[in-house]
């Protein structure tokens, strides 16, 4: 496979990941008991950010998918315009830390919880509701993220045992996963 072909494949893969993140977020918006925006949010599309642990290059697709999900949330009135910046920044930061500061998948799972809890929690406090203490808002956002990432961790621990999945994923890092 030539370098040009590899680049085209990676661009296509990032496009698919972005579309899948966005589509999963939009699908989950139809489930009224699960909030995708606000203080208590459990966005199950965040499970996909764990791809960055194996494929740092997929950070681009994950960030683009998050941006468009936040854009749609802002346009529909379910989310906030600031989410396009701060929520997307939290995803970008979490993916970067997962890819380069995580020797184990369990450690990689902490970064989205911390990044979203701190960044989105502070966003909610400063832009929307300063009557609730910032640490409480951060805690609720982190809890929702923790639920989504815990589900993702369980799914990934099952999937990585499947050689077909790992072959399809084409991991660049952490091909031999330790919990």
pLDDT tens column, 18-39: 999 999 998 888 776 666 666 7
State the average pLDDT over residues 96-123. Answer: 95
Is 83 among the domain residues? yes
Is 164 among the domain residues? yes
The mean pLDDT value of the chain amounts to: 90
Residue 47 CA to residue 155 CA, distance in Å, equals 9
Is 32 among the domain residues? no
Identify the band that residue 163 occupies on the pLDDT scale cut at 50, 70 and 90: confident
Other Cβ atoms closer than 10 A to 178: 8
Q: How many domains does the structure of the chain reveal?
A: 1
Is 155 among the domain residues? yes
Could you give the 3-state DSSP secondary structure of residue 4? helix
Q: What percent of the chain has pLDDT over 90?
A: 67
Identify the pLDDT of residue 165. 87
**Number of helices (H), then strands (E), in the chain:** 8, 0
Helix axes 83-100, 59-76, angle to 10 degrees: 160
State the average pLDDT over residues 35-55. Answer: 84
Identify the pLDDT of residue 38. 67
> Domain range holding 75?
3-24+40-169
Is 177 among the domain residues? no
Residue 120 predicted with pLDDT over 90: yes
Is 145 among the domain residues? yes
Is 35 among the domain residues? no
Is 47 among the domain residues? yes
State the average pLDDT over residues 104-131. Answer: 94
Distances (CA, A) of 167 to 154, 155, 159, 164, 175: 19, 17, 11, 5, 10
Residue 179 predicted with pLDDT over 80: no
């Amino acid at each position: 496979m030539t370098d040009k072909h590899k680049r085209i494949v990676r661009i296509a893969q990032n496009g698919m990941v972005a579309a899948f993140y966005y589509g999963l977020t939009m699908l989950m918006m139809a489930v009224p008991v699960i909030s995708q925006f606000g203080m208590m949010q459990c966005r199950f599309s965040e499970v996909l950010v764990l791809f960055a642990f194996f494929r740092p290059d997929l950070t681009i697709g994950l960030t683009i998918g998050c941006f468009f999900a936040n854009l749609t949330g802002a346009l529909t009135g379910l989310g906030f315009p600031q989410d396009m910046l701060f929520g997307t920044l939290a995803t970008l930061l979490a993916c970067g830390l997962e890819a380069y500061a995580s020797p184990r998948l369990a450690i990689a799972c902490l970064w989205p919880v911390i990044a979203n809890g701190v960044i989105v929690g502070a966003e909610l406090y400063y832009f929307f509701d300063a009557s609730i203490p910032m640490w409480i808002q951060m805690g609720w956002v982190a809890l929702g993220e923790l639920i989504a990432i815990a589900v993702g961790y369980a799914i990934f621990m099952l999937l990585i045992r499947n050689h077909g999945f790992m072959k399809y994923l084409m991991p660049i890092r952490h091909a031999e996963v330790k919990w």
